[in-house]
Amino acid sequence: MKPTVSVIIPTYNRKEELRELLLALTLQTRQDFEVILYNDAGDDVSAVVRECPGLSITLINATTNSGHVRARNVALGSAQGLYVMPIDDDDLILPTHIESLVKVMDEADLAYTDAEVVVWRKTGYGRVPLGRHPFAFEFNRNLLREWNTIIPSGILYRRELHEVLGLFDEEVADYWDWDFILRVTSTHAVIRVASASVLYAIDEDGGNASANPAAMGGNLVKLCEKHGLGELPSSNFLLMTVDERLHSFRRMTSIVWDGKPIR
């Protein structure tokens, strides 16, 4: 029997974070999913995979590093699920996440949840949260042409959308998610689930790319030109949680994380 959901995870030298994510998947209240794990020529993760024998995991080991967008596209070629859920290897989902999204898919082509942007400190005992910032905005197609108010690790969509819209655009690099969301929302039904069931990770030192919007400026220009967005300011999900320009678009959400490590 084919799985309902294909979880797509690109990974590169984040063993501890990946271990937490796979554990979070074992705790999902809905388990009819497969995991397509694409190791982008990083350290061997087979031992981490073996720690979760209850998960259906297809491990793809690349011999050369091609970047996380290409990794997602290759992984999609192995996906069998009716729906696709992409998630970064350092992000986490809470137990009801997949179930809450699948519930609304009879009425949507893409659904997404709210999130908490979590600033983490790495220790010898795992990650410790230094700050938690709710990320919850109304679904607004016009707003999406100025700000990406949908965190990619929180989306679930019909796999058949790729037959219509194509794969993720590797040319826009780190803006692959915003590009795909713009393509979907322009023509398809979208539903927001008002539950912060995703923990989106920001390193304390800002080491992950999304914490440094200035470094991605060239790719933002490509995105803007592709969709006719004009000139947009560089930002990131953490900065958006406090940006006053977005104040009127913020919405209430259900905070479901108790703040404890996923163990």
pLDDT tens profile 10-68:
999 999 999 999 999 999 999 999 999 999 999 999 999 999 999 999 999 999 999 99
- pLDDT score recorded for residue 216: 67
| Least-confidence region, from 71-75, 98-102, 122-126, 248-252 | 122-126
Give the pLDDT mean for 68-96. Answer: 98
Domain coordinates in residue numbering, the chain: 5-255
Contacts of 25 (CB under 8 A, 6+ apart): 7, 33, 35, 52, 55, 93
The Cα 181–Cα 152 span in angstroms is 9
pLDDT at residue 171 greater than cutoff 90 = yes
pLDDT at residue 92 greater than cutoff 60 = yes
- pLDDT score recorded for residue 124: 85
Percent of the chain predicted with pLDDT > 70 = 96
pLDDT tens per residue across span 200-216: 999 988 655 465 565 66
pLDDT at residue 190 greater than cutoff 70 = yes
Q: State the pLDDT confidence band at 262, using cuts at 50, 70 and 90.
A: confident
The Cα 189–Cα 139 span in angstroms is 11
The Cα 179–Cα 226 span in angstroms is 9
pLDDT at residue 112 greater than cutoff 70 = yes
Give the pLDDT mean for 162-167. Answer: 98
- pLDDT score recorded for residue 211: 53
Q: State the pLDDT confidence band at 261, using cuts at 50, 70 and 90.
A: confident
3 state DSSP class of 173: helix
CATH number for domain 5-255, candidates 3.90.550.10, 1.10.3720.10, 3.10.50.40, 3.30.70.20: 3.90.550.10
Query: What are the residues facing 196 on neighbouring strands?
Result: 114, 255
Give the pLDDT mean for 82-104. Answer: 98
- Mean pLDDT for the chain overall: 95
- pLDDT score recorded for residue 217: 75
3-state secondary structure 32-61: CEEEEEEECCCCCCHHHHHCCCCCCEEEEE
The Cα 9–Cα 66 span in angstroms is 14
Structure tokens belonging to residue 227: 């969709």
3 state DSSP class of 112: strand
